[in-house]
Amino acid sequence: MATISAALVKELRERTGAGMMECKAALVEAAGDIEAAIEAMRKSGQAKAAKKSGRTAAEGVIMIQTAADGVNGVMVEINCETDFVAKDSNFLEFANAVTATALASGVADVTALATQTLADGNTVDAAREALIAKIGENIQVRRLQRFDNTAGQLYSYRHGVRIGVVVELVGGDETLGRDIAMHIAASNPMCLSAEQVPAATLDKEREIFKAQALDSGKPEAIVEKMIEGRVRKFLEEVTLLGQPFVKNPDQTVAQLLKQAGAEVRNFTRLEVGEGIEKKVENFAEEVMAQVRGN
């Protein structure tokens, strides 16, 4: 039997809202696989709010720069260890310089970006190492997203420094482009349209909806209608075009775009620390270990 740690139970509780014993039992049944446990709990109705995205723990900034032509741009994620350093002028100066270099150089990824020369003559990596020595925190240039010669105009929005969105819009104007980017920052759609939702994701949701509907005891014909209704609702929730527009929930984003004679060709949303699990420090245990001489 897999060993189930208290930390794993705690994470499952945070992600589902279920009780400690239910979470532990689900993890035992799933042999410690937290995603399998969440899926099983959703099917049984135990999970109150299974969150699909991982916890965001790392600090830093999302930077965006677009060229004057409006069809070329970059979005860069630069991480540090604390929110305090993310606001530091030296860190922000470095982040701005790196982003400008990313746009000018045309490099496609952070590995290539590390070797590029900044305006002060240092490479990105050399400047990063110097900043680590100065500030005393680990700093990483984590992600680079390029937008090159797009068919539509690029519009962007940053929510604080933690969330960045770039939208490629054909037609419309700057106000519409910014509004759509702001909507994406707030609503975090999985993809543009229903056709782009991965088949595996849709199959898994359909399976979960079926398990939930069968528990209702309704006839099979009614169950199938319930499943299809829930699938349609799911697609509306996770696709940009299907979502209610945040500034006017009576209108979908698709309806807003049609009214403006515009089309979103693509979008990218980055959030600081996505997929990074931050180490949780237990200072009491650390002090006790020092006292014991460990």
The whole-model pTM stands at: 0.73
Instruction: Report the C-alpha gap between 167 and 173 in whole angstroms.
Output: 12
- Give the pLDDT of residue 37: 86
Instruction: Select from 77, 93, 161 the least CA-distant residue to 130.
Output: 93
Instruction: Report the C-alpha gap between 117 and 119 in whole angstroms.
Output: 7
- Give the pLDDT of residue 187: 95
DSSP annotation of 123 reads B
DSSP annotation of 108 reads -
Output 136 or 24, whichever has higher pLDDT: 24
Contact status, residue 1 vs residue 29, Cβ threshold 8 Å: no
Residue 170 pairs with which residues in a beta bridge?
263
Mean pLDDT to the nearest integer, 96-100: 98
- The answer to which of 91-100, 190-199, 208-217, 274-283 has the lowest mean pLDDT is 274-283
**Which residue's entry shows tokens 């209608």?**
225
Output 23 or 70, whichever has higher pLDDT: 70
Q: Strand 73-80 vs strand 140-147: parallel, antiparallel, or unpaired?
A: antiparallel
Instruction: Select from 133, 146, 134 the least CA-distant residue to 103.
Output: 146
Output 67 or 1, whichever has higher pLDDT: 67
Q: Which domains does the chain have, with CATH numbers?
A: 1-55 (1.10.8.10), 59-187+266-271 (3.30.479.20)
- Give the pLDDT of residue 1: 55
Does residue 137 sit in helix, strand or coil? coil
Mean pLDDT to the nearest integer, 201-217: 81
- Give the pLDDT of residue 279: 55
The answer, yes or no, to whether residue 261 has pLDDT greater than 60, is: yes
- The answer to which of 32-41, 140-149, 187-196 has the lowest mean pLDDT is 32-41
- Give the pLDDT of residue 292: 58
What's the token pair of residue 211?
Answer: 């398990």
Q: Count of CB atoms within 10 A of residue 31's CB?
A: 11
